């Protein structure tokens, strides 16, 4: 046993040291006293990994070839074992019988197919590392070669044809063909990227469970119960509304959806049902201490937790285990529209560009119903009419507040579609849908960068990373070499800061509805006395909790609870997910972000570090969420660094970012209209709420944010999207008895070229013309008409002053 612990200690410490050395020869400290200052107390500099000779292609090819039948045999044997758990009833086809099951565990068949290849690649990598004695610090370097016998199995080898997309005004539904040089960047069902290499116990795929000093890491549940203690009422953020939290979840579901392991026939894994859960490779069950302050009263010792599915890297070379994003990586409204054609089509009416709606006479204009309860919601037995809902992201039903935001943006899409159709009745269903989707996606981006992020990051960081939208004109900052792909450190740690913002209750009809009672429960959405309106008003009227180490007990004890005492613990899940993904350690990310020491309150740092044997073991989520906030923001500098870099990439690496120019661009008129968008205006247009804060993310008690009336909020100005002729302009002044007026043909995309027939100009006689002069005037008019007809394509954008100049020049050259 001691030998095994020493083995783990040596390799874990070596792995950390060499990971740091790969990033500008960063250092790791030998800590005597567990203080935060010790993060930067230099004892020894880690040397760079030695330059080892790259493996010869023939050697690697033979090793891979030898490994395939062995690994495939192991996978088949493991599948038989997994099936035995299903056959014995441990894993459930009916997921409602599974410990705190939620929609986050609904994994698509496509993700499972990709994971089968990912499992093979991980197995081959481990085999090669062992047989070829590859040091863990150079695994990706040594194995970063395309291998023909693996290429044919690569799920990312079919590169899409982007010929039409290159000049298209619209994004593809799956995010492909955004970057024309790297057509799979940001596409759904592609891997997350990483800022730093993964930290796995074996260097390849085993979840991090071992201290750098050897022995086990502290239990995730223990860290949660002792460090992430209950957030109390006085721990609120005085300036921020609860909407800040909920929009953050809505935004998160736009850009990321992890793919989690499933059992035989897609069954939900019950990792606590086996006497030895650690023997199941798809499981990473959370152990609950016998003296747990809450769960012990229910004699509960295990919390279900399944590992994220493995995937090959995007280039399908061998290397460390990666995880899969089932959604598009872009801010494009995929949580509304879906990230694949099948989902997208299923949500459309295919008439007038609109999305399907549900509800009934008493609760109309809701999302379409999930009549089969695929989301496995908790539905009231007394009312068969109450169902959960369908949207572009299956997690829509996680809580009633999230359902409400989804409903509002579905309604906004349909309002825009109706406005576009009324203005341009020649548009097809597809054009209306695409244009409305494009507008809603632009609105989401504008709200994110204009309203949401400034409250999170503060002014200085917004400026540092160029995140503020322009007041006018085009951005023109697209960088084709910037990869927008969501980073694992962002998805599995930093952007989970919002979990700390959740209040114990959801304000509803001026009453407090416990948050645990709205998980997977859509009943109040159908409430004729409140519903979406009351929930949304409650979000803007109530406070958000502070971002700190504390978290609502409704998340740390009652997450997706179906039976008393058997809910989940989101803080423990976040810690465990980070270890599952091999997320780098807090000190590594702190160093790479150039964050100084003393970013925690001393009491907070002491409470956290006392739970670990060595500060170098500390998990990124726990340490990052508990840092002191940056000036003007609500999160600490390490999370601010990770989040700002991610949103910089999502802005500069998105060819369809709403402020960009190019074939896909809005006109400047349209762009100015988009810039008028606020979340409060979207709420006003799609609810019956009378008054909302001017900025929905800030409490109206703040002097900079008073309430506004929804009566004065109108729809967007659809005339900016009108195709065909504009109204006639004013007549020019009369020059030698002739005057001209003009109109504009709007033929910008998506206008068809046949919307305009006739001439850009109109000419008439003016003034008192003597009969004797009439033939000469009429001849000049025809002569001017002939000139304008041959040149009118040059005059498609012309004002009265230009028309006057044309007329003056003509008359000067052809005096009457």
Which residue has 């796995």 as its token pair?
A: 200
Task: Kindly report the backbone phi and psi dihedral angles of residue 800, in degrees, each rounded to the nearest multiple of 5, phi listed first.
Answer: -65, -30
What the block records as the tokens of 693 is 């804060």
Task: Kindly report the backbone phi and psi dihedral angles of residue 433, in degrees, each rounded to the nearest multiple of 5, phi listed first.
Answer: -60, -50
Q: Please, what is the Cα angle at 402 between 399 and 404, to 5 degrees?
A: 110
DSSP 279: G
Do the bridges between strand 236-241 and strand 543-545 make them parallel or antiparallel, or are there none, so unpaired? antiparallel
- Give the Cβ contact number of residue 674 at 10 Å: 19
Q: Would you call the peptide bond into 750 cis, given omega within 30 degrees of 0 as the criterion?
A: yes
Scanning 347-472, the segments in alpha helix (DSSP H) are 400-423, 429-447, 453-457, 459-464
Quote the CA–CA distance of 324 and 308 in Å, as a whole number.
8
Which one of the listed residues 253, 329, 446, 503 is annotated catalytic?
253
Is residue 395 a contact partner of residue 104, using CB atoms and an 8 Å limit? yes
What is residue 170's three-state secondary structure? coil
Task: Kindly report the backbone phi and psi dihedral angles of residue 243, in degrees, each rounded to the nearest multiple of 5, phi listed first.
Answer: -60, -30
Quote the CA–CA distance of 476 and 493 in Å, as a whole number.
31
3-state secondary structure 664-684: CCCCHHHHHHHCCCCHHHHHH
Quote the CA–CA distance of 486 and 302 in Å, as a whole number.
31
- Listed residue (294, 391, 397) closest to 347, CA to CA: 391
- Listed residue (171, 211, 228, 178) closest to 569, CA to CA: 228
Dihedral angle sign, alpha carbons of residues 402, 408, 413, 414: positive
Provide the Cα torsion 568, 570, 572, 573; round to 10°: 90
Chain-centroid distance, C-alpha 156:
21
b/e burial code for range 616-655 (CB count within 10 A of at least 16 → b): bbbbbbbbbbbbebbeebbbbbbbbbbbbbbbbbbbbbbb
Is residue 444 a contact partner of residue 331, using CB atoms and an 8 Å limit? yes
Start-to-end CA distance of the chain, whole Å, equals 110
Extract the runs of DSSP E, i.e. beta strands, from 265-367: 286-287, 302-303, 310-311, 322-325
Dihedral angle sign, alpha carbons of residues 254, 260, 266, 268: negative
What the block records as the tokens of 607 is 């409470």
What the block records as the tokens of 623 is 């340490």
- Listed residue (462, 172, 452, 128) closest to 330, CA to CA: 172
Q: In the annotation, is 253 catalytic?
A: yes
600 annotated among ligand-binding-site residues:
no
Active site residues: 253
Task: Summarize the annotated binding site as residue ranges.
Answer: 499
Annotated binding residues for heme b, written as ranges, equal 499
């Amino acid at each position: 046993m001691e030998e095994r612990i020493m083995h783990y200690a040596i390799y874990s410490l070596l792995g950390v040291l060499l990971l740091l050395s790969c990033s500008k020869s960063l250092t790791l400290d030998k800590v005597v006293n567990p203080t935060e200052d010790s993060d930067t107390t230099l004892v020894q500099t880690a040397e760079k990994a030695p330059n080892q000779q790259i493996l010869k292609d023939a050697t690697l090819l033979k090793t891979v070839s030898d490994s395939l039948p062995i690994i495939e045999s192991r996978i088949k044997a493991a599948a038989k074992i997994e099936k035995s758990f299903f056959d014995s009833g441990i894993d459930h086809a009916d997921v409602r019988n599974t410990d705190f099951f939620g929609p986050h565990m609904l994994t698509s068949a496509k993700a499972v197919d990709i994971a089968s290849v990912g499992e093979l690649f991980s197995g081959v990598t481990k085999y090669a590392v062992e047989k070829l004695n590859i040091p863990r610090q150079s695994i990706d370097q040594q194995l970063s070669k395309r291998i023909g016998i693996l290429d044919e199995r690569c799920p990312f080898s079919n590169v899409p044809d982007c010929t039409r997309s290159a000049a298209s005004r619209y994004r593809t539904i799956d995010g492909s063909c955004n970057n024309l040089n790297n057509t799979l960047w940001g596409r759904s069902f592609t891997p997350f990227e990483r800022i730093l290499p993964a930290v796995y116990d074996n260097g390849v795929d085993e979840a991090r469970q071992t201290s750098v000093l050897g022995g086990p890491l502290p239990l995730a549940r223990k860290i949660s119960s002792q460090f992430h203690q209950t957030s109390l009422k006085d721990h609120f953020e005085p300036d921020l509304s609860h909407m800040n939290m909920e929009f953050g979840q809505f935004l998160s579901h736009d850009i990321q959806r992890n793919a989690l392991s499933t059992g035989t026939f897609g069954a939900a894994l019950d990792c606590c049902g086996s006497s030895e859960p650690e023997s199941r490779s798809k499981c990473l069950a959370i152990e609950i201490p016998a003296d747990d302050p809450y769960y012990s009263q229910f004699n509960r010792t295990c919390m279900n937790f399944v590992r994220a599915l493995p995937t090959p890297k995007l280039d399908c070379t061998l290397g460390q285990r990666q995880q899969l994003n089932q959604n598009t990586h872009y801010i494009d409204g995929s949580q509304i529209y879906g990230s694949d054609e099948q989902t997208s089509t299923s949500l459309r009416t295919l008439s007038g560009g609109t999305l399907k709606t549900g509800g009934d006479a008493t609760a109309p204009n809701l999302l379409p119903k999930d009549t089969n309860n695929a989301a496995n919601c908790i539905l009231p037995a007394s009312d068969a009419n109450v169902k959960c809902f369908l949207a572009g992201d299956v997690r829509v039903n996680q809580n009633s507040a999230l359902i409400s935001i989804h409903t509002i943006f579905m309604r906004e899409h349909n309002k825009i579609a109706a406005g576009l159709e009324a203005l341009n009745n020649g548009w097809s269903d597809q054009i209306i849908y695409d244009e409305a989707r494009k507008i809603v996606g632009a609105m989401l981006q504008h709200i994110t960068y204009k309203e949401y992020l400034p409250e999170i990051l503060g002014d200085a960081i917004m400026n540092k990373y160029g995140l503020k939208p322009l007041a006018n004109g085009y951005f023109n900052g697209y960088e084709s070499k910037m990869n927008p792909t969501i980073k694992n450190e962002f998805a599995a740690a930093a952007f989970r800061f919002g979990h700390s913002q959740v209040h114990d209750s959801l304000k509803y009809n001026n009453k407090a509805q416990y948050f645990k009672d709205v998980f997977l429960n859509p009943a109040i959405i159908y409430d004729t006395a409140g519903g979406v309106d009351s929930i949304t008003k409650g979000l803007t009227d109530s406070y958000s909790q502070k971002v700190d180490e504390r978290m609502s007990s409704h998340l740390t004890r009652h997450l997706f609870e179906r039976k008393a005492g058997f809910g989940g613990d989101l803080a423990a899940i976040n810690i465990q997910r980070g270890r599952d993904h091999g997320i780098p350690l807090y000190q590594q990310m702190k160093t790479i972000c150039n964050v100084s020491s003393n970013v925690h309150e001393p009491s907070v740092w002491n409470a956290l570090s006392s739970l670990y044997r060595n500060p170098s073991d500390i998990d990124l989520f726990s340490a990052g969420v508990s840092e002191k906030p940056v000036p003007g923001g609500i999160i600490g500098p390490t999370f601010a660094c990770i989040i700002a870099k991610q949103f910089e990439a999502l802005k500069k690496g998105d060819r369809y970012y709403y402020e960009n120019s190019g074939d896909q661009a809005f006109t400047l008129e349209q762009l100015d209209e988009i810039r008028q968008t606020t979340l409060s205006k979207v709420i006003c247009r799609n609810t019956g709420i009378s008054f909302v804060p001017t900025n929905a993310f800030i409490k109206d008690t703040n002097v900079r944010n008073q309430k506004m009336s929804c009566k004065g909020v109108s729809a967007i100005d659809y005339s900016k999207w009108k195709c065909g002729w504009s109204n006639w302009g004013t007549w020019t002044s009369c020059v030698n008895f002739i005057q001209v007026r003009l109109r504009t043909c709007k033929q910008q995309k998506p206008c068809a070229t046949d919307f305009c027939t006739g001439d850009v100009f109109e000419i008439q006689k003016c003034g008192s013309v003597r009969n004797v002069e009439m033939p000469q005037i009429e001849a000049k008019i025809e002569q001017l008409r002939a000139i304008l007809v041959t040149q009118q394509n040059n005059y498609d954008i012309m004002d009265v002053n230009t028309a006057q100049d044309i007329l003056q020049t003509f008359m000067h050259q052809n005096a009457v």
